[in-house]
Structure 1
């Protein structure tokens, strides 16, 4: 049976997890190849879009590939099918496979690459390593019959409204009376066509990040008993949650640099890593940035971190870090793969059983270790 969910619908759910506007200006996130208007039954999540990944997608009848690294990062002046990139694009088009990239937006997003990497090391009290902005907040005031206030509150809270710090379902309600006249062609939940109706209602108020607006309104309309829900939206000046690149957190107990290296190898499932520093140095505060983060070495040092975990470290910057007393752990760029199972879980929960999400099993790590 053909799926009724289109690629655009899947991407809307992805955008709630990893809002596209979080991406850096220099990045090329979003649609890479294909159409977002096609039905999708199977979605593959991958770190990279290489030819072996596309071959796997063809074999598994995948309709949509969601990748972390953009397929089209550097502008193309031609599509030469004799080149690896050209063959990849050709196969994708021939087999009607759409490719979408969530890159630096997924790095920044809560629950994205850097949070998953930090969670695997059980880091506590996480904050962004470098702040890049904060979520704008929106206030919702919706009018609902008394008997449905709890149902509506639960629905919008589960969609992301009313979360303040470590508290959820944060709302305020005030009692009043609503009036309306159902006009011709309506099917009113309460009242009769052409007659003024008075209803005891609550004004239910809450705030939430603007990035959750679509999800909260969808939940509100689905849970509200009326054909047309009456509600107001207001921009607010309260400070929203800060977002940024990288994470800084603390270990629950001190480890030596050597011990932490072993934990990193195990938790990131890697055969080897590089490190800089005294292996017996005690580590408590950890800065972390998935992918290539050497240009942020000085920023990591400013946070007071004992060690900075990132990939693609070069010789001279490693020397600089050593001289300034900052330990380094380089697990490689490919460790960003750890976000794929988490993203699969989140999207499967959001989209339901009509779409199947799988994680690519193809190898895209170019380095081998002896």
Structure 2
């Protein structure tokens, strides 16, 4: 018999909580540690659609990448979005667990998965937090290509979203060294490993940091930028996480949600 506590222990082995950033809040959020688990659903976000899916599939635990209560709340009343989600999970007998920045830094984490799909060679963390562990990845493409071709390759790898793939740089610019960070990565724009790459792939690039990076590259070299959906860049990791959980928890049914939880529904191109 596998319990919520057993799942938590397996997750701790795969994605140690000690690796989480200080501001983060991964781990077990709700559920009885002694409750039995026979089915787990994995998703990037705990939102109404994924919570409903987990309960309707009879899951005993929903494991998400993004913590639902990463910032403090003063109420979990069902008149609030987070309160309604937690109540739905509790009534459905489904625990909630998250693996966030502690899953980003491991050798098989979110950025490592994207680097693997791009077939980067000698991929290393952009910022190393321990030997072989750290934020982002930087490495070489197996074969040099152009910025436009790489963007199209990414569009084929990532699940489709309304915002697609945005690029800052010339379509035919040669690229061979790639830096990337799954999820929001503009905090790494100034890192030497990013500045020395031909292109930096990440999500949620804001106007001012992106503009400054582009202008800096004009006078002091620097990467082209590719901005992709936050959800899409991290959803790729779920199948890796599922495979690792199946190895740790034989006999437990582990399902990856196919639901899109990217918040954007459509875009109007001008």
Identify the structure with the greater strand proportion: 1
2:220 is matched with none
Q: Which of 121, 128, 150 is equivalent to 1:260?
A: 150
Q: Which of 226, 240, 247 is equivalent to 1:349?
A: 247
Matched residue SS, 2:236: helix
CA distance in structure 2 between the aligned counterparts of 1:43 and 1:303, rounded to whole angstroms: 40
Q: Which of 205, 209, 213 is equivalent to 1:321?
A: 213
List aligned pairs for 1:32-71, cutoff 5 A.
Answer: 32-71=29-68
Distance 1:82 1:15, change over 3 A: same
| 1:368 counterpart = 2:265 | yes
Distance 1:301 1:111, change over 3 A: closer
Residues 129, 303 of structure 1: 8 Å contact kept:
no
Residues 287, 305 of structure 1: 8 Å contact kept:
yes
CA distance in structure 2 between the aligned counterparts of 1:301 and 1:39, rounded to whole angstroms: 45
1:330 is matched with 227
Matched residue SS, 2:67: coil
2:132 is matched with 242
Distance 1:103 1:299, change over 3 A: same
Q: What's the CA shift for 1:301?
A: 5.4
Taking structure 2 as the reference length, the TM-score comes to: 0.92
1:297 is matched with 189
Residues 287, 300 of structure 1: 8 Å contact kept:
no
The Cα offsets for residues 288-311 of structure 1, whole Å up to 9 and x where unpaired, read as 101111121111555511111010
Q: What's the CA shift for 1:345?
A: 1.3
Q: What's the CA shift for 1:70?
A: 0.3
Residues 270, 331 of structure 1: 8 Å contact kept:
no
1:177 is matched with none
| Runs of 5+ consecutive residues of structure 1 not aligned to the other structure | 135-240
The Cα offsets for residues 193-236 of structure 1, whole Å up to 9 and x where unpaired, read as xxxxxxxxxxxxxxxxxxxxxxxxxxxxxxxxxxxxxxxxxxxx
Distance 1:251 1:90, change over 3 A: same
| Runs of 5+ consecutive residues of structure 2 not aligned to the other structure | 218-222
Count of paired positions: 259
Q: What's the CA shift for 1:269?
A: 2.5
List aligned pairs for 1:94-113, cutoff 5 A.
Answer: 94-113=91-110
Larger radius of gyration: 1
Q: What's the CA shift for 1:15?
A: 1.9
Taking structure 1 as the reference length, the TM-score comes to: 0.68
CA distance in structure 1 between the aligned counterparts of 2:3 and 2:229, rounded to whole angstroms: 35
